[in-house]
Structure 1
Amino acid sequence: MMKPQVLILDGDAAHAVAMMECLVKSGYEISVLCQEKNSYGYHSIFAKRRFIGPNSHATKDYSQFIFSLIAKNKFDVLIPTSDVTAEFLSRNKSQVEKYTNVLMPEIDIFMKAYDKNKLMALCEEKGYPHPRTIDLSKISLVTEALKRFPYPALIKPNLTSGARGMTLVHSYDEFITAYPKIHKDFGECHLQQYIQQGGRQVKIQVFTNESCNVCYTSAIWKQRYYPIKGGSSCCNITILEPEYCRICANILKDIGWVGFADFDLIENPETGELLIMEINPRTPACIRSVYKSGLDFATMIADSSLGKSLRNYSYCPGKRLRHLGFDVLWFLKSEKRFTAKPSWFKFFGKDIYYQDWIKGNFASFFYGTIGNISKILNPEFRKAKSGI
């Protein structure tokens, strides 16, 4: 029998390869859509078919390409690996499902999670832990509430990925000066309490069934990240965080979300409380540590897309994941390079894995690293990833 066919969208990233590794072991055949050949996904040994397409941010060109691709080729499941492609599948779900299967909520439910301002409003209404937030679309810019807000604070676009558009302001005067351009470039925004550095950065993963009930959860502690001010994980470890897994699962139930979601949380070092920051509607870049801990979310997504029952999994935390390329950059920039815990110099161990390196997958590592170097040399990419 022919194996079920899965197409991975935005397959350039290293976590797309981790997803492919799991799906191949689970009996799926993988095709990957990339933006360029110098990428992790395009050269992965796990990909049976490889396609080059337009940038997923180019809405019209990307849409035309995708519908042409899925009309001409047989794919049983489409899985996104970026916010942009996740939103594309949600927004075009009914049309996409004429050709294949996707596990994404309808766009109105999707936006309740993806819109950071709507998420904060839900947390406020339900009493979930979150930073103090003001919706700037519903308030006069000269109101006393903005003048009395506990600065420093972050101006955050409601719809953006990573730290794009986020701006730290230290006073009301700085806010009034900075806000007009951010609003012009990124659309509606909110003002949010700035959480001082020093606390943990934690990610929570939740998979829910069609009744919005939790099936599996996991947690990742980002122990090092690049850029150092707060960027992508370059060293993380899977942990137990049952209380916050329960909170995140309840948020998804309130929203009506079905399938996979990933939460970003930041610990307030003054109180020790973890605060909900945002929801990512796809698997995060550092997800391979969770796979190695026993939870194969990639296969859960594919199986559920096809209406199959979930397989049995057991979560065993304590697996560490490093991104070799970004961890080298962290070492060059950090003042804690020789005192960091865990030690930067421990490269091997039975519970240590790599985000950008999988055994037998050297071409993927080589070309993906070249692609990363090209991005880092791009001033616009550096600006987008520079943090606040």
Structure 2
Amino acid sequence: MKPLKVLQLLPALDSGGVERGTLEIARALVAAGHESVVLSKGGRLVEQLQREGSRHIQRDLGRKSPATFLQYRALRTLFEQERFDVIHARSRLPAWVAWLAWRGMPAHARPHFVTTVHGMHSVSRYSAIMCAGERVIAVSDTVRDFIRTHYPPSRWPHLADERITVIPRGIDPAEFPRDYQPSDEWMARFHTEFPQITGRKVLTLPGRLTRLKGHHDFITLVRTLLSDGLDVVGLIVGGEDPKRPGYAKEIRERVQADGLGERIVFTGHRSDVREIYAISDCVLSLSSTPESFGRTVLEPLAMGRPVVGYAHGGVAEILGELFPHGAVAKGDVAAASRSVRSILAGHAEAVRVNHRFLLGEMQSETLSLYSFFFQNH
């Protein structure tokens, strides 16, 4: 089969799951001998993208303004000049502009149009563009079910089931290896920075300081275990949301009010989460809204570290596959506390080896989907 020329579109290349997935597919395209192009307004990941063999086109299609839609003419010209084989839209506003450009091309000259539904957006005509691809990728069974429920074929005739393909996000086992042990130097540094953890069982809640992540439930859980006589310390690993500084202040004040200043530690944003997972006796996932996937659940589980989480959305899928013992009902802090207690007592079964949520599988399935359009050519 001929090498393909694939364009991925997204608002920016700064950080986040969509950006990470874009780079992972770009890398796979280059490795397979295809031509990889990414269009965004730019960002700190552009340098890495280009270093790994892809080309970047700078256009701002993410600015929420009526003027952004008017870029469809220039985008159509770009499509005609570049003659892409596949256009892959990963975000709503870029998808709209790309679709307007694509729709106006002669059918025989159009590239194939693919979309990925990364999250469970508000249900609206605006969001429906993410279901407009000739093939629609859902990042989990949860997202597929969300599409089926809110964009049924009775109202969206083009969205028959065969157009939706579930391709779960995946991780590289080399990045999060099973039974990983941090270096002695890292251990010494971390214990110096956070001496409160020394000699205690470590519970970790990863994720930015936003209300959805369940920090109040985490504080309650730590307090419950301490009152049961367990010698635990809780790590809250994540940076503050600059748009909501009041919430971070609220959480810190709650910790002090509950007398947990020595037992709950705020690490801030960290680039060494792998090492933190490795020293954690249990990782928590207490999000109040369902995650479309749940990478911060998968990463520690892949390393063999137990996770206790609210079993909804993508988190339920991952726990069901790798560590059913850790699944508890949403909002049931008492059940989460019992699960953590049994894990710390050594009564839980081992975490299963991750064979399903693998980066290599995600990459090969996505490239196979691109190639599907050309199999009969």
Report the TM-score range of the alignment, normalised by the length of the smaller protein: 0.3 to 0.5
Please identify the structure whose Cα radius of gyration is greater: 2
Relative contact order higher in (CA < 8 Å, ≥ 6 apart): 1
TM-score by length of 2: 0.37
Task: Report the structure, 1 or 2, having the larger helix content.
Answer: 2
TM-score by length of 1: 0.36
